[in-house]
Amino acid sequence: MKESWQYKTFRVFNVTILLLIVFATLFPFFNIVAQSFSSESYINAGEISLWPKGFNTETYQVILSDSMFWINYKNTVVYTVVGTLISLVLSTMIAYPLSKKRLKGRNFLTMFFVFTMFFSGGLIPNYVLITSLGFGNKIWAIVIPSAISVFNMLIMRTFFQNIPDELEEAAVMDGSSTYGILFKIVLPLSKPILATMMLFYAVGHWNSWFPAFIYFSEKELFPVSIYLRNLIKGAEASYGTGATNADNITQIASNIKAVTMVLTVLPILLVYPYIQKYFVTGVMLGSVKG
C-alpha cells in the first residue's frame, strides 16, 4: 500500500507528539525522584530537573529512622490487607448470586445496587452514621464504607456469567451444594478476575486518605497517606529525629516531601508492570453491558 506524503508527514508528527506526551507524563514524577536524592540547596535554587544534584541518601535515612513513618506505613499495609479481604468476600457473595438467571428478583437486586452509583447519602449523613456507629479511630471507618464497589461487582458478575453452565450442572449431578460449586468449581476458574479485583481494591485501599483524615485523630493510627498529606500541607507533623531545630526542618522539608512521596508510591511502582494488564482486562470486562 502506498502512503501519501501527507500521511508520512503526519506519522512523523504523530510519533513526536506521543513522545512529548510520554515525557510530560513521566517528567513530574522523575523530578520528584531526582529531588529525593538531591541536597536542599540545589532544590531551592530550582536546579533539579531529571538528575539529582548534590547526591545524598540522608533524607531517606531521616525518614526511614522516623518511627512514626514506620507505624503509619505498617497501618497502611494492615488497612490494605484487611480492606481488600473484606471487599473480595462481600463482592463475591453478591456477584455470584446475581450472575444466576434463576435467582428470583435478580433485576431488582441489581438495580438496588446500581442505584447507589448515581445517588449517595453525601458527606455529612455518612459522617454522622459512621461516627454514631462508634467507628471513629477504628479500622472499620476506613475499610467498611468502601467495601463494595458496585462497578467492580458488575465486572465480577459479568465474568461469572460467562462460566459455562454445563460445568456447574455436572457438579449438581454429583450432588454438590451451591457452596461446594462456588468453592470447588467457580472460584478456581475465576482466578484471573479474583486477581484483578484484588488489585483494584488493594490499590484503592493503599491510596485512600480521606476517611482516615475525617475519622481518625490519633497519629498512631494514621495511614502513611495522612503522614504525607500533613507534610505537603505543611501541617505540624513529625519530621523525624534528624531535624533538631526549626532551621533544619524548613531546610530539609522539600526533600522530605519528595522522599515520602517516593516511598508511598514504591509498592505501586513495584507491582505496576505486573498489574497493568489485569487492570486493562478488568476495565474491558466492565465495559461489556450485561
Partner 1 sequence: MEEAGKQTTVTKWSLTKNSFIAFKKDWQLYSLIILPVIYLLIFKYLPMIGNIIAFRRFIPGGSIFGEEWVGLYYFKMFLSDPTFYKVFSNTLILAFWLLLITFPAPILFALLLNELKNQLFKRFVQTASYLPHFFSVVVVAGIVFEFVAINGPLNSLIEFLGGNRINFIQLPEWFRTIFISSELWQGLGWGAILYLAALTGINEELYEAARIDGANRWQQTIHITIPGILPTIVILLILNIGNFLAIGFEKVLLLYNPLTYETADVIATYVYRVGLESGSFSYSTAIGLFESIVGLILVFGANYLSRRLTDTSLW
Within 190-209, which residues bind partner 1 (CB under 8 A)?
A: 203, 206-209
Q: Which region among 51-59, 186-194, 242-250, 273-281 touches partner 1 (by CB under 8 A)? A: 273-281
Question: What separation in angstroms does the CA of 39 have from each of 29, 45, 251?
Answer: 18, 10, 10
Q: For partner 1, which is the closer residue by CB, 100 or 189?
A: 100
CB-CB contact of 123 with 160 (8 Å): no
Minimum CB–partner distance for residue 2 and partner 1 (Å): 10
Of 5, 46, 188, 235, the one binding partner 1 by CB under 8 A? 46
Kindly give, in sequence order, each residue whose CB lies less than 8 Å from that of residue 89, ignoring residues fewer than 6 positions away.
none
**By CB under 8 A, residue 17 contacts partner 1:** yes
Question: What separation in angstroms does the CA of 236 have from each of 97, 192, 230, 252?
Answer: 49, 44, 7, 15
Distance, CA of 199 to CA of 275 (rounded, Å)? 7
Minimum CB–partner distance for residue 257 and partner 1 (Å): 6
Distance, CA of 232 to CA of 213 (rounded, Å)? 14
**By CB under 8 A, residue 172 contacts partner 1:** no
Alpha helices in 99-164 (DSSP H): 106-118, 123-132, 140-143, 150-161
Binding residues for partner 1 restricted to 56-85, rule: CB under 8 A:
none
**By CB under 8 A, residue 49 contacts partner 1:** yes
Minimum CB–partner distance for residue 105 and partner 1 (Å): 9
Kindly give, in sequence order, each residue whose CB lies less than 8 Å from that of residue 279, ignoring residues fewer than 6 positions away.
196, 199, 200
**By CB under 8 A, residue 45 contacts partner 1:** yes
Q: For partner 1, which is the closer residue by CB, 136 or 244?
A: 136
**By CB under 8 A, residue 18 contacts partner 1:** yes
Using H for helix, E for strand and C for coil, what is the string for 198-245? Answer: HHHHHHHHHHCCHHHHHHCCCHHHCCHHHHHHHHHCCCCCCCCCCCCC
Minimum CB–partner distance for residue 58 and partner 1 (Å): 19
Q: For partner 1, which is the closer residue by CB, 170 or 269?
A: 269
Of 101, 122, 164, 245, the one binding partner 1 by CB under 8 A? 122
Question: What separation in angstroms does the CA of 159 have from each of 89, 150, 283?
Answer: 16, 14, 12
Q: For partner 1, which is the closer residue by CB, 182 or 244?
A: 182
**By CB under 8 A, residue 116 contacts partner 1:** yes
- What number of other Cβ atoms are within 10 A of residue 128's Cβ? 11
Binding residues for partner 1 restricted to 142-161, rule: CB under 8 A:
144-145, 147-148
**By CB under 8 A, residue 52 contacts partner 1:** no
CB-CB contact of 238 with 66 (8 Å): yes
**By CB under 8 A, residue 33 contacts partner 1:** no
- What number of other Cβ atoms are within 10 A of residue 85's Cβ? 14
Binding residues for partner 1, how many (CB under 8 A)? Answer: 93
Minimum CB–partner distance for residue 61 and partner 1 (Å): 20
**By CB under 8 A, residue 120 contacts partner 1:** yes
**By CB under 8 A, residue 244 contacts partner 1:** no
